[in-house]
Amino acid sequence: MWGIIATWRMALEGIEEAQDILENQGSASEAIEVAIQNVEDFPYYKSVGYGGLPNENMEVELDAAYMDGDTLDIGAIGAIKDFAHPISIAKQLSKEKVNNMLVGQGAEKYADHENFEKKIMLTDRAKIHYYNRKKEIEEQQIKPYDGHDTVGMVCLDNSGKMTAGTSTSGLFMKKQGRIGDSPLSGSGFYVDSKVGGATATGLGEDLMKGCISYEIVRLMKEGKHPQEACEIAVCQLDKELKERRGQAGDISVVAMNNQGEWGVATNIDGFSFVVASAIQSPIVYLVKNINGKCIHEVASEKWLEEYIQERIKPIVQK
Ligand code: ASP
């Protein structure tokens, strides 16, 4: 049995590539890297890799992580600039004995030394978004939280090995050096081949408060189905945050156990995700949270068409 689950519709084409690998007895470590690289390469996704939206200094700073569920090896990078595939750098770091998480200049130095592909990740389109947003902020004091959405994946291969990976440009207009949950083990991702894995997207500052990915894996280890584990973890964190702080940021998660069973939960409307497995070709779903129960349905052709049109439509500088 193999399976792969990912946050957001943007993962679809990457998941299709992963399917080919997994069907042909490829490993979860190769499949997840190829799938995430695909998302990093696509210029119209504003929140991952090339074309990701910049920080307040108009620099694209990227976070990524990779985890091996057999060995529990973890590699992560934070706030790295001008490298094409953050996921691959994170994966390589996971194989080092120490120094597994590097940020900023240190991460760049490592990536350069290891000959990872350099690339200017700031596109003209992202610059237009930046200038438009700057103008909006000046005019209306809008909070710099838009154009986020991390790609996170959990993968199981035919040998029973599981992996997790994340890649993101984080929050649009974030402060220089800001690092979200995505490269943080337990918050943005966690995987254990003996149990299963989970990954999160949403407001990193809040996701960290519940170490939500680890919490989901912990619940699955207690015997919960991934769906139940996701719902409990999201509901609990959402409730705690609201009780203690008056509000909760966006929290969306996906999980898969080592049997290929999967689950998803969110506290927002409009969260989409993609799943493929030995018994299911890649499908995009949409999720809704109705009083703590997360109901998912297959995305319609109309929704899928509008999604792409919205991503690639021409934009003008205001
Ligand atoms: N969790 C990411 C961050 O805070 C953003 C997102 O997934 O929307 O950097």
Q: What is the rounded CA–CA span in Å between residue 158 and residue 24?
A: 9
Ligand 1 centroid to residue 150 C-alpha, Å:
5
Q: For residue 45, what are the domain limits?
A: 3-312
pLDDT in tens, 263-294: 999 999 889 999 999 999 999 999 988 887 89
**Average confidence (pLDDT) over 87-94:** 98
Residue 238: predicted pLDDT: 97
Q: Once rounded to an integer, what is the mean pLDDT over residues 41-48?
A: 91
The predicted pLDDT at position 225 comes to 98
Mean pLDDT along residues 187-209: 98
**Residue 71 annotated to the active site:** no
Query: Which ligand 1 atom minimizes the distance to the CA of 204?
Result: 4
Phi-psi region of 72 (alpha: psi -120 to 50; beta: other; left: phi over 0): left
- 317: in domain: no
Q: What is the tally of structural domains in the chain?
A: 1
**Nearest Cα to 2, choosing from 275, 198, 227?**
275
CATH code of the domain containing 80: 3.60.20.30
Give the pLDDT confidence score for residue 146 in this predicted structure: 55
Start-to-end CA span in the chain (Å): 51
In a domain, 257, yes or no: yes
Element (H, E) at 233: helix 226-245
Q: Is residue 106 part of a domain?
A: yes
Question: Cα separation of 20 and 34, whole Å?
Answer: 11
Predicted pLDDT at 4:
98
Q: Of 73-87, 136-150, 200-214, which gets the smallest average pLDDT?
A: 136-150
Average pLDDT over residues 70-77: 98
Residue 25 lies in a domain: yes
Does the residue 292 lie in any domain? yes
Q: Does the structure show a pLDDT above 70 at 144?
A: no
Q: Tell me the percentage of the chain whose pLDDT exceeds 90.
A: 88
Beta-bridge mates of residue 153: 6, 165
**Radius of gyration (C-alpha) of the chain in whole angstroms:** 18
Ligand 1 pocket test: pick from 53, 146, 150 the residue with the most ligand atoms within 8 Å of its Cβ.
150
What pTM does this model have? Answer: 0.96
Q: Give a yes or no: residue 82 inside a domain.
A: yes
Query: pLDDT by residue (tens digit) across 208-221?
Result: 999 999 999 999 99
Q: Which atom of ligand 1 is nearest to the CA of 201?
A: 7
Ligand 1 centroid from CA 218, angstroms: 22
Residue 318 inside a domain? The answer is no
Q: Which helix (H) or strand (E) holds 236?
A: helix 226-245
